[in-house]
Each structure stands twice: as C-alpha cells, then as structure tokens.
Chains A and B, each alone.
Chain A
Amino acid sequence: MLVDLYTYLGLSAMLFTIGVAGVLTRRNVIVIFMCIELMLNSVNLTLAAFSSYLGDQTGQLLVFFVMAVAAAEAAVGLAIVISLFRNRQTVNIDEINILKW
C-alpha cells in the first residue's frame, strides 16, 4: 500500500505541533530538549517525504545535515544541562535565571 504524501505531512505537522507545545509548556530542560529534537525530526520527515515524492535527492541530503546539527546540538546541550545540574541541582528552567539582569 502506497502511503500518500499528505499522510506524511500530516504526521510531520502533528509531531511538530507536539514539539512546539512541549517547548512552550514544559519546565524540565531535558523534556524541552527532547521536544526540540522532535521538531527537528518532524522536519526531517517532511524533507524525506518531499524527496521521495519529487524524486529529488537534495531533500534527503539535507536530512543528513539536520541530523548532524541535531547530534552536535544534543552533545552541547546535554553537556550544558549536566554542568547546570551540577551547579544548581535542578533542571527546572524557572530556577535557572542567573543570566537574567
């Protein structure tokens, strides 16, 4: 059964919305972090779907870039989270405000 493009796009939109909602509402840094990953991957899904639909490899190529960036971001982000936790014993963003004036 051939799944049509709209299904992919619908799934992707749902995943993205879940990611945005998570970023906006959650207070746990790790969860927010995961939600950002979710948004990135929903975009990846869109890219892959369009690539297949249009028969163009560029979209898939771009996915690798996004994945590389996401991986780097995950490494740096988690490192920051760990050092934050060591200093402040919390991962709640409401309590992490040392850079706020």
Chain B
Amino acid sequence: MPYQLIGLAVFLPLVGFLINGLVGRAILARSPGHKSEVLVGIIGSATVGISFIIACMMFFALLGSPAEDRSHTVEYFKWISAGSFHVSVAYQIDQLSILMMLIVTGVGFLIHIYSIGYMHGDKGFWRFFAYLNLFIFAMLNLIMADNFLLLFLGWEGVGLCSYLLIGFWYDRKFEKGTTGDAAKKAFIVNRIGDFGFLIGMFLIFEMFGTLTFNDVFAQASTLSVGNKTVMWMTLALFLGATGKSAQIPLFVWLPDAMAGPTPVSALIHAATMVTAGIYMVARCSVLFALAPTTMIVVAIVGAATALLAATIGLVQNDIKKVLAYSTVSQLGYMFLALGVGAFTAGIFHVMTHAFFKALLFLGSGSVIHAMHEEQDIRKMGGLKKYMPVTYWTFFIAMFAIAGIFPLSGFFSKDEILWKAFAGGNYILWGVGLVGAGLTAFYMSRLTTLTFEGSERFSLKGDHAVHPHESPKFMTVPLIILCVLSVVGGFVGVPYSLGGNNAIEHWLDPVFERANEKLLLASPHGGPIEYVLMIVSVGVALAGIWLARKWYLQSKEVPERLAANNPGTYNLLLNKYKIDEAYDAAVVTPVLKTSDAFLWRIFDVKIVDGIVNGIPKVIGMFSGVARKVQTGVAQSYVFVFLIGVVAIVGWLITR
C-alpha cells in the first residue's frame, strides 16, 4: 500500500480551496443559478470525498497489516532546520490518526454535500466552500502531523478557518453585536489556549530536544511518573486543549460561534475542530500519563464542564445554543475519559459524537432553513408533519446522544462512565451520570418543542411561515449520518455485552506506553457493570420522559419551576453570567488600561512624545542655526569682509 498517497489526501482540499477561492466567484458570476452552485459545491465536496476514499484505502491497508506494522511515517521535505532543531513536513499514519482522518473527511464530506443545499442562493457561496476546504486541509494537517509544530500549524489553521466561518455573514447582527464580534471572541479566546500550547511545545523541545512525536514519546516512556517538568508541560498543553475544545475556563467562545452558518457549526464546532484538543491530549497520552496531577485536572475540568454546560443547556431557547452547550458538555465527557486514563473511550466518544452531533446540527439547520432563519424554539412546534425526514433523524440522534441502548452514544458514554467508576472516581462518575440525565432532558426538550405539539408560528397572514422539507442535498446526508449514529457504536461493544470492543483493540498500540505508566487495574466486569449500564440508561430514559411530559402535556410545570426559582432560572438563562464575569475581570480592565494608560499615556505621551520630541529638539537647534542664513547677500559679504580683515590682520601682525 503506497502510504505516500497521504500527502495527496491532505493537499486535495487545499486544491479545492484554491480553485473555489480563485475562480469560484467567476463561475457563479458567469452563470448565476443552481447549476453553477452545484459545480462549485461539487468541486469542494469532491476533493474531500477523494481524501475520504484515500483514507478508507489506508484504513483497510492498516487493517490488513499485523498490529505491530500499523504505524507509518511519510516524510515529504525538511521544513525548518536550524542548529539542532529539525522539523519536517511529515505525516504519521497510525491507528489514531487514520481514525480521526476517517471522521474528518467522512463527516466533512457529508457536510459539504449538505452545504450545497443549505447555502443555496447565498452571495458568498463560493467563499463558503473555499473556507470549508481550507478548514479540512488544516484539520488534516493537525491530525496527520508527525510532530508538534506541524500539528500547531494545523491547529492555527483550523482556528483561522473557524474565525472566517463564524464571521461568514459579517453583515448580520448577532446578539448584542455582529457576527464579527463572535468571530473575534472565538479567535482571541483561542489565542489564550494557543499560548499554553506554545509554552508546552517549548518545554517539550527544551526537555527532549525534538518535536517529533515518536522521538518525544520514546524518550518520555523512559521517564518516571511524577516528573515536575512534564507536569507543567502537560498542564500547558491542556490549557491549549481547553481553548480549542471549549472547556472551562475557555469555553465561552463556542456558544457564540453559533453565529456562523449551521453547516459550520456542525463541521467545525461540533464534529471535528473542537475535538482537536482531545486528539492532542490522546496523542500525548504518554506525557499525560507521566503527570498524575494533570490527569486529575483534566478529569475534573472535563466533568465540571460536562455538568456546567448541561445545566445551561436546560433553559436555552435558541435551537443552536442548546446544541452548542450540548457540544461543550459532550466534550467535557471526552476530557473526563482522558483524565481517568480511558483514552480509547475518549476517542470513541469523539467518533460517535461526530456522527450524532453533526446530525443534530444539520437537522437544526434544516429546521432553521424551513423556518426562514428562525432559531427560537418557542416560535416553532409541530414541525413533525412538515419535515418528516428531519424529524425522524433528529429524533434518533436525540436517543443516540442521550445514550439509549443500542445507539452509538450508549456505548461510548457508557464506556466513559464505566471507566470512571472502575478507576474508583465515584464522584466523577456521579457527575457524569447527572450530566447524562440532564443531556437526555434538554435534548428531549429541544426535540419536543421544535417538532411536536402545536405550531407556535403563524401559518397565515403577513408573517406566515411555510415549513417544508429540505432538498435532497440536505436530507441524504442526514439519513447517512443517522445510520452512522445508530450503528457507529457497534465498533466498541464491550465484552460484557458479548462484543469484542474492536475499537479498543485497534487503538491499544497507540496508548500502550501510556497504559504502562498508568498501571490501571483492568476493570473487572461482573454484575456491577450491568447495574451501571441499567442505571445510566434508566437516567437517560427518565430525562427524556420527563421533558416530553413537561413540554407536551403539563407545560405549566416548567413555567412554575422557573417562576418559583427566578434566581436559579435567570442564572442558567444567562449562562451563569460567565461572559459578564469575564467582561468585568478581563475585557473591561484591558480596555480601560488600554484607553487610560496605553493610549492616552503610553502612546500619546511616550511614543508620540519621543517621535515628536526628536524633531522638536532638532528644530530648536536649527532655529538658532538658521538665523545665520539670512539670505541677505550683503550680510554674507560683511562676514566675509570681517574674515578677510582678520586674516590679513593676522598675516600683517605675525
């Protein structure tokens, strides 16, 4: 199998970006209409589709190789070479990266197809596809890189694309500002995380003298657990992960990222980019395994984020906001998994989450499309009969994310909870369980309010809305993702349910070194595992049932709850006022200092003072010197005469 093809798979989306970015506008301008749009869309989708096919080929090639021969590095050229510092553009194909690549290109391809339908008629149609392709290119660099620097290049690249796509509708209003504000927020918050990533990278180079994964991890596996430098290194890397993967304390950008078009939310802010942090931590599992403190921090941050975001999701009224908080919460689960050493479970959840969360977002996009850009679920309802495909796929995705047996979410979420429990982290398990119940509740609430009950919008009159099922370009990806959401979990059926946990076997070699360091007691199955499964499914079912009951039959219950606890309700509705707190603690002081000191004193007085001061001093001296040059020839002659007299006088009296 020519693994060299990986470069083609990575660069094809870049080609698509260049084509659509350079001539896409011309294609659409020459013959405006659906056909040109499809052409542009096909160019964008095909490049990703071919990448997906290549990824599949490699996946099967790896599958056919013996387990010890499943890691290949393909080096293309030396990128940077300075002294002892060498970085190559090289891609690493192994079990973890190929799995991520399948997710990114597969789900990415479906979302590209969906976008052809969703973005129909948008004036930036070509720009949208160019950005999406650029994103896929950056994301593939991120996951295929065989060294930290190339990973960082992809890391920044996806951040840039995220920025560009959040602000895609730059002329639209979003909440208190414009979509541009949301884009800037995402970009700036991510910079904080990137700072951590950079520090981590510096420490790695300082300690190991290289940035190549294989070399770093080989050296790291000889270190002993509890190394202080490794602890700081991993904490710094984890800060980077919290930025990209929207964890406490840097999760605030993700809900605002919903300002972008819905396919972007599905692709970047749910399925792929936000899992980059999880991928990175999993990739560096050896380093994290060496730092038990960091592992605890990761697990606690993950669990806390899962719970916090889930509670916020309970009361949000914007269809995409609910999904955004749900994403934050699910990412929290993944970090919880990583933190308790269940790297496989974390990656497994990345995969299943990519399926059902992309599906949920695309479904919400379909709804928004049908409702003429309405996103408030209080103004929806009863959409079931207008858009059956969207409804049924959304409905199934709801069960998948809630973790109902035997849909994909059940296996991955249950694996995480079980690993947390088996590792003795009962509190984390409890938090995860509560979060699972809340997840089921808010997803059920969202589905119920959106699709069921009676229509809460006018079907007649001036503001009439005529909901309709979306075109094939949109429904077909929904159906495919729905199938994946249903069957995606079967790659990880645990032994206790008669499966062979294929994904764990597949990924084990990648995490072998880390697992050696962690010395996790191999979880014993037995009755307790079944009990936990039944408990978590029971909690999820209870959540779904409760929300359906409340929002379909006894609508007064949630209203009464909100009215009786206005403090709690408003706190949740306003997202714990975290944005306001950050504004007060960070943004306002920075703005104030910038205004009062940096601008009015430092810039105006000091910088401008120096700049203006130098010519002023020169001017002062030249003002004096200038007096000599009167321009009156006679005074020159006079001076000349004095000189002559002086010289002659000196000559005479000598």
Contact = CB atoms under 8 A, between A and B. Distances in A.
Contacts of B638: 24
A6 B334 CA distance: 117
Interface residues of A, number: 11
B631 A93 contact: no
B29 interface: no
Interface in A68-89: none
A99 B632 CA distance: 11
B531 interface: no
Contact of B641 (A24, A32, A94, A99): A24
B586 interface: no
A32 B634 CA distance: 10
Chain B interface size range: under 10
Contacts of B631: 97, 99-101
Interface in B638-652: 638, 641
A11 to B, nearest CB: 19
A23 interface: yes
Contacts, number: 18
Contacts of A94: 632
B504 to A, nearest CB: 86
Contact of B634 (A23, A97, A101): A23
B625 interface: no
Contacts of A97: 631
A101 B622 CA distance: 14
Nearest to B644: A20
A101 B632 CA distance: 12
B637 interface: yes
Contacts of A101: 631
B471 to A, nearest CB: 75
B637 A93 contact: no
Contacts of B641: 20, 24
B1 interface: no
A26 to B, nearest CB: 8
Interface string B615-640: 00000000000000001111001100
A41 to B, nearest CB: 18
Contacts of A99: 631
**Residue of A24, A97, A99, A101 with most partner-chain B CB within 10 A:** A24
A100 B635 CA distance: 14
A32 B636 CA distance: 14
A64 to B, nearest CB: 25
Contacts of A23: 634, 637
A93 B637 CA distance: 14
A32 B632 CA distance: 13
Contacts of A25: 634
A8 B415 CA distance: 126
Interface of A: 20, 23-25, 32, 93-94, 97, 99-101
11 contacts: A20-B637, A20-B641, A23-B634, A24-B641, A32-B634, A93-B632, A93-B633, A93-B634, A97-B631, A100-B631, A101-B631
Sorted nearest first, the 9 A-B pairs with minimum C-beta distance are A100-B631, A24-B638, A24-B634, A23-B637, A24-B637, A97-B631, A20-B641, A23-B634, A93-B633
Given A20-B637, A25-B634, A94-B632, 6 more contacts: A20-B641, A24-B637, A24-B638, A93-B634, A97-B631, A101-B631
